C-alpha cells in the first residue's frame, strides 16, 4: 500500500492522456454492459411463465405474412388444456407522419378473448368494459401511451396499407403487462371486418392460454398435428420462443453480440497497451534510477502493472457508474420500440457489472504486462545512458 | 581524512563490451582500494572508463572478470536481487542530471529509497526531513522538481542519496550541469558529507575544481589507472589541474 501514492501520481502524470485512456475504456465498457444486459434479457426465464401464464402462439408454418383460416381459432379453443384463445391480426398501417418514430404494433383482436388470454394485464386507466362497449375503441400499452402522450378518450387515426382503410380509434383503456412489454395497440376485429369485409375469413396468429405447463407442451404438438396435412400448416411455440424468433431474423444474435463484445475488448486492449507502452518508454531513465536506488525488478514490474490496472479500474468503475445511471433511460427508450419485449428484461444485473469490471481489470493487466516486463528487464546502465 | 581501512577493494578488474563481433575493453586489469571515509575523484578523458568503474563499484553493472569488494560484500559475486537490496542500504547515488522523479515533491523524492525499508510512515517522514535539513532544503520539501533551481534539485538528489544513511556515495559529474555558484555549493555540501558525516565518496568529474575537493585523485586512461595521487586538502587544486591538462 505504501507504493499506492507513487502509482497514483505516475498514473496521472499526463492527465489528458490518462483521462482519454479512461474514456477509451469507459465507452466500450458501456457497450459491453449494454450487450451483456441484452444477452441476459434474451436468456431470462419467460416472465409470463413465471407468473403461471402458459401462452402459446400459433401462426402459419411458412411465415407470419401468411394468413390462417379464421376457423382455426374455434378448433384450437375446443382442444383439451386450452383455457382461452384469441386472434392477433397484424394491421400495420401508418400513424402520424409514418416515420420510424411512429412505428408500433397494431393488432385487431376479439376484446373479451384478448383479456381472457392476457388476464395478467393490469389496466392503468379506463376499463375493458368501455372497450367492449365501443366497437371503434382500442386499448394501448403504457409504453406507447407515454411516448405519444395518449390518454383515455383520445382519438387515434391509423391509415391502413395491408387493409386499405382508415381507422379512427378511441382510446378506452391503457394497460401494462407486469415484467413484459406494453407497446402495442389492440382494437376490435369487427371494426376492421366492417370496413374491409375480406378480412373476416382470415387471421394472423392465434394466442392460446394453456391450463398449465404440461398442457402447453402437449398443445404445441396437438395444434400443429391437427393442421399438418391442411393447406395451411401451423407452427406453434411458446410466447418466449415466438419473441426469440424475431431476433433470429437478424441471424445468430448471441454470436453477433458476443463477437462485437470480443472485438470491443480487443480494441480497448490495444489502446490501453499502446498508452502503457508510451508511458513506460518515457520513463526509461526514471525506472533505471529507481532500480539504482534499490527497487527490485519485481517492485518495478508491480508499479508499472499497478499503474496500468489502476487506470483500467478507474475506467471500469466509471463505466459501470455511467451505465448504472443511464440504464433506466435506455430501457425506457427501448420499451417503445420493436425491441421492447427484450428491453423489459433489462436490469442492472450484478453479474454483468462484475463481468464488465473484470474485463477492465483484465485489460489493464494484459496491457501492462509487456511494458512492465520490459521496464523491469532493461539493464540499469542502458537506462541511465538515455540521460544523454 | 582517511580512516585507512579499505571500504572498496578492486582486484584485477576487467570490463569488456561486445559490439557485433568487436570486443571493446573499457577497464583493463584494474586494481584499486578506497579507504573508508575517503573522498576520491575519478578523472580521465571521455571513454576512459570512469563511469563504468563507478557503476561497477556501485553494483549496477557486472565485471567481465576480477573481483570487487565493498566492505564485507563481494559485489561482483552477488545476484541481481541481492545487489538491489545491498544498494538500497549501502550506496547513495548522485547523478549529473539529478534524476528526480518529476511527479513527486522534494520530500517524496527523498522518501523514495526509504519505501524499500521496513520503516513506518512516521519514521520515513522523520528520516526524509532529516536528510532535507542536512542539505538545507526543509523549507522546499513540498516543491516539485520543476519549481526548484538546478542547484536545489541536486541538493534534493543528495538528500535522497543520504536518506538511508549509506556508507558509500557515488557521484557521476555532480556539478556537470550546474553554474559555478551552484556547483560550489554542491561541492561544499559533499565535503561536509565526507568530513562531518563520514561518508566515503567516489566522484567522477571532468572539472579540476571539483576534483580539487577530493583527498585523492585517480586518473584513468583507456581503462588503465594512470595516476593515483593522495593529497592534502589545499594542495589538490594544482594537482587536479595538472592531471586534467595531461589528459587532454
Give how far B49 is from chain A: nearest CA, Å.
13
C-alpha R_g of chain B = 18
Query: Please, which residues bridge with residue B25 across strands?
Result: B16
Q: What is the dihedral of CA A352, A353, A358, A360, to 10 degrees?
A: 120
Q: Which letter does DSSP use for residue B178 in this model?
A: S
Give per-residue pLDDT as tens, B45-57.
998 999 999 999 9
- Residue A388: what pLDDT? 36
The mean per-residue pLDDT over the stretch A307-336 comes to: 90
The mean per-residue pLDDT over the stretch B150-177 comes to: 96
Give per-residue pLDDT as tens, A63-108.
888 899 999 999 999 999 999 999 999 988 889 888 878 888 899 9
C-alpha R_g of chain A = 29
- Please report which residue ranges of chain B form alpha helices under DSSP H: 50-58, 80-90, 106-111, 121-134, 150-162, 180-195, 208-211, 236-247
Strand-strand pairing, B216-221 and B224-230: antiparallel
The mean per-residue pLDDT over the stretch A350-373 comes to: 91
The mean per-residue pLDDT over the stretch B10-27 comes to: 92
Interatomic CA distance for residues B91 and B164, integer angstroms: 9
Q: Please say if the pLDDT value at position B125 is more than 70.
A: yes
What pLDDT band is residue A270 in, cutting at 50, 70 and 90? confident
Other C-beta atoms within 10 Å of A211: how many? 13
Nearest to A364 by CA among A7, A85, A34, A47: A7
Nearest CA in chain B to A7: B103
A117 touches chain B (CB under 8 A): no
Crossing angle of helices A297-335 and A4-11, in 10° steps, is 60
pTM: 0.72
Helix (H) or strand (E) holding A269: helix A253-281
Interatomic CA distance for residues A162 and A388, integer angstroms: 80
Give how far B102 is from chain A: nearest CA, Å.
9
The mean per-residue pLDDT over the stretch A250-273 comes to: 81
Residues 6+ apart with CB under 8 A from B22: none
Q: Please say if the pLDDT value at position B124 is more than 70.
A: yes
- Residue A244: what pLDDT? 74
Distances from the Cα of A186 to the Cαs of A86, A98, A276, in angstroms?
Answer: 12, 18, 57
Residues 6+ apart with CB under 8 A from A60: A66, A67, A68, A232, A233, A234, A235
The mean per-residue pLDDT over the stretch B227-245 comes to: 58
- Residue numbers in A near B116 (CB within 8 A): 293-295, 299
B177 touches chain A (CB under 8 A): no
Mutate to test the interface with A, among B19, B103, B168, B170 (most CBs of A within 10 A): B103
Q: Please say if the pLDDT value at position B67 is more than 70.
A: yes
Interatomic CA distance for residues A60 and A83, integer angstroms: 22
Q: Please say if the pLDDT value at position B234 is more than 50.
A: no
The mean per-residue pLDDT over the stretch B24-29 comes to: 93
Q: Are B158 and B81 in contact (CB under 8 A)?
A: no
Give the ipTM: 0.90
What pLDDT band is residue B228 in, cutting at 50, 70 and 90? confident
Query: Please, which residues bridge with residue A86 across strands?
Result: A207
- Residue A313: what pLDDT? 94
Give how far B101 is from chain A: nearest CA, Å.
7
Helix (H) or strand (E) holding A261: helix A253-281
Give how far A17 is from chain B: nearest CA, Å.
15
Interatomic CA distance for residues B78 and B91, integer angstroms: 15
CB pairs < 8 Å spanning A and B = 68
What pLDDT band is residue A45 in, cutting at 50, 70 and 90? low
- Residue A42: what pLDDT? 77
Q: Are B156 and B148 in contact (CB under 8 A)?
A: yes
Tell me what the pLDDT averaged over chain B comes to. 90
Give per-residue pLDDT as tens, B128-157.
999 999 999 999 999 999 999 999 999 999
- Residue numbers in B near A388 (CB within 8 A): 97
Nearest to B155 by CA among B176, B172, B131, B179: B131
Highest mean pLDDT among A35-49, A239-253, A261-275, B178-192: B178-192
A residues 296-335 lying closer than 8 A (beta carbon) to B: 296-297, 299
Q: Are A370 and A277 in contact (CB under 8 A)?
A: yes
Tell me what the pLDDT averaged over chain A comes to. 88
Q: Please say if the pLDDT value at position B238 is more than 80.
A: no
What structural domains and CATH numbers belong to chain B?
6-247 (3.40.50.300)
Nearest CA in chain B to A6: B104
- Residue numbers in B near A289 (CB within 8 A): 93, 95, 99, 101
Q: Please say if the pLDDT value at position B247 is more than 50.
A: no
Interatomic CA distance for residues B56 and B81, integer angstroms: 15
Q: Are B60 and A380 in contact (CB < 8 Å)? A: yes
What pLDDT band is residue A49 in, cutting at 50, 70 and 90? low
What pLDDT band is residue B2 in, cutting at 50, 70 and 90? very low
What pLDDT band is residue A120 in, cutting at 50, 70 and 90? confident
Of A6, A294, A381, the CB nearest to B113: A294
Give how far A271 is from chain B: nearest CA, Å.
24
Amino acid at each position: 500500500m505504501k507504493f499506492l501514492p507513487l502509482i497514483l501520481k505516475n498514473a496521472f502524470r499526463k492527465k489528458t492522456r490518462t483521462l482519454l485512456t479512461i474514456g477509451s475504456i469507459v465507452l466500450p465498457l458501456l457497450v459491453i454492459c449494454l450487450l451483456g444486459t441484452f444477452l441476459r434479457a434474451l436468456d431470462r426465464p419467460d416472465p409470463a411463465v413465471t407468473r403461471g401464464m402458459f401462452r402459446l402462439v400459433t401462426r402459419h408454418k411458412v411465415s407470419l405474412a401468411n394468413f390462417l383460416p379464421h376457423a382455426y381459432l374455434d378448433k384450437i379453443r375446443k382442444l383439451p388444456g386450452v383455457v382461452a384463445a384469441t386472434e392477433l391480426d397484424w394491421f400495420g398501417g401508418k400513424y402520424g407522419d409514418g416515420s420510424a418514430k411512429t412505428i408500433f404494433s397494431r393488432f385487431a383482436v376479439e376484446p373479451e378473448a384478448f383479456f381472457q388470454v392476457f388476464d395478467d394485464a393490469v389496466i392503468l386507466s379506463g376499463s375493458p368494459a368501455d372497450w367492449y362497449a365501443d366497437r371503434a375503441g382500442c386499448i394501448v400499452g403504457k409504453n406507447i401511451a407515454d411516448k405519444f402522450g395518449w390518454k383515455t378518450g383520445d382519438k387515434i387515426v391509423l391509415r391502413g396499407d395491408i387493409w386499405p382503410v382508415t381507422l379512427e380509434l378511441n382510446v378506452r383503456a391503457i394497460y401494462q403487462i407486469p415484467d413484459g412489454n406494453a407497446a402495442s395497440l389492440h382494437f376490435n376485429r369487427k371494426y376492421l371486418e366492417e370496413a374491409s369485409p375480406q378480412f373476416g375469413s382470415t387471421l394472423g396468429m392465434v394466442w392460446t392460454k394453456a391450463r398449465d405447463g404440461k398442457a402447453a407442451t402437449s398443445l404445441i404438438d396437438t395444434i400443429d398435428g391437427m393442421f399438418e396435412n391442411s393447406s395451411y400448416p401451423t407452427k406453434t411455440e411458446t410466447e418466449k420462443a415466438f419473441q426469440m424468433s424475431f431476433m433470429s431474423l437478424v441471424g445468430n444474435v448471441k454470436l453477433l453480440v458476443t463477437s462485437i463484445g470480443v472485438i470491443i475488448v480487443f480494441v480497448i486492449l490495444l489502446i490501453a497497451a499502446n498508452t502503457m507502452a508510451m508511458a513506460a518508454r518515457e520513463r526509461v531513465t526514471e525506472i533505471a534510477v529507481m532500480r539504482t536506488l534499490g527497487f527490485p525488478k519485481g517492485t518495478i514490474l508491480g508499479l508499472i502493472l499497478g499503474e496500468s490496472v489502476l487506470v483500467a479500474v478507474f475506467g471500469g468503475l466509471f463505466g459501470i457508474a455511467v451505465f448504472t445511471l443511464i440504464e433506466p433511460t435506455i430501457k425506457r427508450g427501448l420499451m417503445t420500440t420493436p425491441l421492447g419485449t427484450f428491453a423489459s428484461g433489462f436490469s442492472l444485473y450484478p453479474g454483468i457489472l462484475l463481468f464488465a469490471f473484470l474485463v477492465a481489470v483484465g485489460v489493464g493487466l494484459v496491457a501492462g504486462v509487456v511494458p512492465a516486463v520490459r521496464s523491469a528487464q532493461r539493464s540499469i546502465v542502458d537506462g541511465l545512458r538515455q540521460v544523454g | 581524512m582517511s580512516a585507512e581501512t579499505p571500504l572498496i577493494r578492486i582486484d584485477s578488474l576487467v570490463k569488456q563490451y561486445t559490439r557485433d563481433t568487436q570486443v571493446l575493453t573499457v577497464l583493463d586489469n584494474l586494481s584499486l582500494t578506497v579507504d573508508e571515509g575517503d573522498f576520491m575523484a575519478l578523472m580521465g578523458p571521455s571513454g576512459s572508463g570512469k563511469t563504468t568503474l563507478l557503476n561497477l563499484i556501485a553494483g549496477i553493472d557486472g565485471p567481465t572478470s576480477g573481483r570487487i569488494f565493498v566492505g564485507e560484500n563481494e559485489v561482483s559475486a552477488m545476484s541481481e536481487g541481492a545487489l538491489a537490496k545491498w544498494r538500497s542500504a549501502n550506496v547513495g547515488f548522485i547523478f549529473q542530471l539529478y534524476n528526480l522523479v518529476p511527479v513527486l515533491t522534494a520530500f517524496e523524492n527523498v522518501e523514495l529509497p526509504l519505501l524499500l525499508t521496513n520503516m513506518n510512515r512516521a519514521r520515513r517522514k522523520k528520516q526524509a526531513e532529516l536528510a532535507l535539513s542536512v542539505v538545507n532544503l526543509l523549507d522546499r520539501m513540498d516543491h516539485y522538481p520543476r519549481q526548484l533551481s538546478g542547484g536545489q534539485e541536486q541538493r534534493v538528489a543528495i538528500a535522497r542519496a543520504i536518506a538511508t544513511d549509506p556508507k558509500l556515495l557515488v557521484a557521476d559529474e555532480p556539478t556537470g550541469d550546474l553554474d559555478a555558484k551552484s556547483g560550489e555549493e554542491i561541492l561544499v555540501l559533499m565535503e561536509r558529507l565526507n568530513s562531518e558525516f563520514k561518508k566515503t565518496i567516489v566522484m567522477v568529474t571532468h572539472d579540476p575544481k571539483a576534483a580539487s575537493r577530493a583527498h585523492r585523485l585517480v586518473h584513468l586512461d583507456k581503462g588503465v589507472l594512470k595516476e593515483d595521487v593522495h593529497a592534502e586538502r589545499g594542495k589538490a587544486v594544482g594537482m587536479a589541474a595538472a592531471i586534467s591538462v595531461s589528459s587532454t
